[in-house]
Amino acid sequence: MDRPAPSLSGTVHVTRPLPEPGTALLEAAGLTVTANSDDRPLDAAELAAAVADADALVCMLSDRIDGALLDAAPRLRVVANYAVGFDNVDVAAARARGVEVTNTPGVLTDATADLAWALLLATARRLGEGERLVRSGAWSGWAPRQLVGQPVAGRRLGIVGMGAIGRAVARRAAGFGMEICYHNRRRVPSDVEAQLGVTYVGLDELFATADVVSLHAPLNADSHHLVDADALARMKSTAVLVNTGRGPLVDEAALVQALDEGRIAGAGLDVYEAEPVVHQGLLDRGDVVLAPHLGSATTTARADMVELCTRNVVEVLSGRPAVTPVPPGP
């Protein structure tokens, strides 16, 4: 992004320290930036105080932007969510108050798809267990029955949510010769299916037939606990579950029970129901790979997210349409 000419006035509050280019682009546009210098989420009272005089807000998934918070910020004109997901923002409440809500689609697609594949391979091939074994000093050398995992090449991948990230995961699966099925709220166009080599199926069939289930659906009332005890009971005992979407897509208590009972082979998780709290039953398991919400954590993706948030703020405060407003509801 080219540095904008300093022509705006107004105050932007940023709720967490940002990676490069940080707030420099906002300041270059003439905006006053206030920021939480502590790398922790603000509580509701702290956030309300911070946005009392703000014209724009750059916030994170960990920030709850609801009607009460919006009422505490009467000058607010735009909420730029530093994420693709936006279930942390009451979009209807914002729009009722004339506040635009934006997100950061597209720029983190490849980073998140790569991370999904990293978790897929690490879980299927038991790399987490192997890495810990070597570090422990207890490894005694190669053995024919040691840490035998699940194959990936030529197996069936089930993708739940065929948006940009789901499609990127599918493109990567082609290199492994996988058969790919998917489920989406709306079936994608037939030419896209043909290009990706994917087949649309119902959720029951996806869970029952996939060797790997990868979650990329948005979080809403319909998708909360999409993977519950019933869904897990339908999965193969050799199947692997991967979640780089949103934590509450998975009922973690049900997942722990399914793993305890050997109903699935393992899980690779980057997101959690009550993040940053992780269900205690997952922490001590060797058949689960746990990542600390790293989906977009590449230098390029995080910098592009900063720039996109900046562009959205600048455009809205300039009286122009946002670059990436959140889509209308169903």
Marked catalytic residue, from 27, 179, 275, 307: 275
Q: Bridge partners of 35?
A: 14
Distance CA 4, CA 10 (A): 15
Which one from 16, 246, 263, 311 is the annotated catalytic residue? 246
Query: Does 293 participate in catalysis according to the annotation?
Result: yes
Contact 204, 180 (CB under 8 A): no
**Catalytic pick among 97, 224, 293, 307:** 293
Active site residue 275: yes
Sole residue written with tokens 């990293």: 118
| 262: region left, alpha or beta (phi > 0 left; psi from -120 to 50 alpha) | left
Buried (b) or exposed (e) across 273-293, using 16+ Cβ within 10 A?
A: beeeebbeebeebebbbebeb
Please enumerate in sequence order all residues whose Cβ is within 8 A of that of 51, keeping only pairs 6 or more positions apart, or say none: 13, 57, 69, 72, 73, 76
CB 322 within 8 A of CB 78: yes
Contact predicate 106/120, CB 8 Å: no
Question: Can 279 be counted among the known catalytic residues?
Answer: no
User: Among all residues, which ones are annotated catalytic?
Assistant: 246, 275, 293
